[in-house]
Amino acid sequence: MPSRLKYIRIKRNLNRKKYFKAIKYPPIPLSQNDLYIITTVGDRVDLLSNQFYNDVDLWWIITTANPDTIRRDSFNLKAGLEVRIPTDLQTILEDFEQLN
């Protein structure tokens, strides 16, 4: 998948000032096929996405799937967290593209 950042659009307000339109993320429903892991020291969301999806840019899927567990402002994870790793990438990416 191309970078999600290609979906960022520059807009102008009434005063002609530029701003960026926010990227929308789809809800990620629970699935029987989801994987669950317990984080260890040194785990990061981008490294987990590389481990499970072979793409560091898909970190947002793990973050979106775990809104009460993972903070959106940091890649670092505390040790001992239970994190859900969604496995239905195709559907998630299709939903993402439809929203944006």
In a domain, 18, yes or no: no
On whether residue 15 sits in a domain, the answer given is: no
Average pLDDT over residues 43-62: 95
Q: What percent of the chain lies above the pLDDT cut of 70?
A: 87
Determine, yes or no, domain membership for 82.
Answer: yes
Residues 20/11, Cβ–Cβ less than 8 Å: yes
- The number of domains in the chain is 1
Entry pTM: 0.79
Q: Has residue 14 been placed in a domain?
A: no
Smallest CA-to-CA distance from 83 within 99, 65, 58, 59 is with: 65
Position 86 in a domain:
yes
Helix (H) or strand (E) holding 63: helix 59-65
In a domain, 74, yes or no: yes
Q: Which range marks the domain in which residue 50 is found?
A: 24-99
Is the pLDDT at 79 greater than 90? The verdict is: yes
